[in-house]
Amino acid sequence: MPDRGIMTPRRLIVVSIASATVAIAFGRFTYPLVLPALKRDLLASYTVVGLLGSLSFAAYLGASLFVTIKGHKLGPVTLVRRGVAGSALGLLILASAGSVWWLAVGMLLTGASGALVWISAPGLAASAVAADRRGWAIGLVATGIGLGVVVTGQLAAVTRGMDGSASWRVVWAIQAMLAAACLIFTLARRGETVGSGARAATLATLRKVRGWAGITLAYAAYGLSYSLFVSYLVAMLEADAEYDTSHSSQSFAVLGLFTAGAAVIGKLSDRFGRILVLSACLGTMAVAALAVLSHTEPWTTVSSATFGFTMSGVPVVVAAHIADNLPPEEFGAAFGAATLAFGVTQLTGPQLGGLIADHTGSFTLVYMLSSAIALAGAATATASNLALRPTRSRPVDTSGAPRRRGGGER
């Protein structure tokens, strides 16, 4: 049932940030950080590692499909609450898992919950501000994810000295408690937001967005590129670069820290145009994925920081571009449809990377592939931008009526 009552714009933004931090930073980005300890304890090979990662992304894809079909009947606030609840339960299962099978259950649950939150939270944040601040507002949501990854990295560092499986269990257990606290916060006040009567997601809804095909393809390329890079960063630095656990974990923490710059990229897209900034982000990701293969400092740190900063901006800019072109009640439908393409490629990354690593004995080809895919996405976005230039898209206000703005493509 839709929520009843009113939720203030400020609370909408805070709820969106907190929920995304739990569902994405904790629910999805903790796995690579605890991977070395987890592999020593329960996992037999990188193929199994990749399979678990792919299960999480498969659940994300399945939940994305659910949101596109049924999400309009529930409303974004309800979806966010269910996503946070699922994340809390999934993290608890991961913390207590005694076998690969229970790890799989936890990965499935946190993966699905991440989709419920991420498809809904950007629309909530965008609905709370004026059209010329949507990129900034959605960027704040992604910034919360980045800060959550930083906290996780530090938590992993503190628990690193524990024996056996205690280190990775403690990380997930603490996150489960934080997720429970977030759930209490999201339930503290009932409220229906703009868009709770949204339409079911269809391709026709997404096609209303200017440049939808190029944007969707670029988002799909992003899904594969980032999932390859992030899933194996810690493992690659320890196996190929022979970094110790502290050094590799700090590199991942740097990546997470710089994803906190998502609000900056969102603001840049408010100023210079969505697709132009999207192309720049993907192109820079391609360079960073190659540079990290130097296996030397300062390039490892610079590459991790650069990849983290630019990868954080891609979903922000895609979401803002969709919000610019549609009224709020149609945002979830279109963003959910675009997320299906992203979900398919994201699902492929961990398993593909694990197979390549096991077959070749290193992660070099994994990161070369990540770079090539990001570059292809940048080229697709650039082509889309050129095609749109003669008739540039305009943001719409909360009633759905176009509102002219100065500047370039939005």
Asked if residue 395 is part of any domain, the answer here is: no
189: three-class secondary structure by DSSP: coil
102: three-class secondary structure by DSSP: helix
Asked if residue 407 is part of any domain, the answer here is: no
Asked if residue 359 is part of any domain, the answer here is: yes
CA distance 389 to 7: 38
Q: What is the pLDDT of residue 221?
A: 95
**Residue ranges of the chain with pLDDT lower than 50?**
1-5, 192-198, 390-394, 396, 398-410
Asked if residue 229 is part of any domain, the answer here is: yes
Task: Kindly report the CATH number assigned to the domain that includes residue 287.
Answer: 1.20.1250.20
Asked if residue 397 is part of any domain, the answer here is: no
Token pair 């993290």 in the structure block, residue: 91
Distances (CA, A) of 121 to 74, 200, 344, 388: 14, 17, 21, 28
Structure tokens at 257: 């820290």
Q: Which helix (H) or strand (E) holds 191?
A: none
pTM comes to 0.75
Question: Which residues make Cβ contacts (< 8 Å) with residue 386, sequence separation at least 6?
Answer: none
Q: What is the pLDDT of residue 303?
A: 94
Give the DSSP letter of residue 132.
Answer: G
Q: What is the pLDDT of residue 335?
A: 83
Beta carbons of 303 and 291 less than 8 angstroms apart: yes
List, as one string, the DSSP characters of 202-240.
Answer: -HHHHTTSTTHHHHHHHHHHHHHHHHHHHHHHHHHHHHT
Token pair 């090539």 in the structure block, residue: 372
Q: What is the pLDDT of residue 389?
A: 59
Q: What is the pLDDT of residue 200?
A: 52
Domain of residue 126: give its range. Answer: 9-190+202-387
396: three-class secondary structure by DSSP: strand
Structure tokens at 317: 């800019």
Q: What is the pLDDT of residue 371?
A: 96
Peptide bond into 32 cis (omega under 30): no
| Number of domains composing the chain | 1
Q: What is the pLDDT of residue 193?
A: 45
Asked if residue 76 is part of any domain, the answer here is: yes
Asked if residue 4 is part of any domain, the answer here is: no
- Tens of pLDDT, residue by residue over 247-305, are 887 888 788 788 888 889 998 999 888 989 999 999 999 999 999 999 888 999 999 99
Question: Which residues make Cβ contacts (< 8 Å) with residue 355, sequence separation at least 6?
Answer: 47, 50
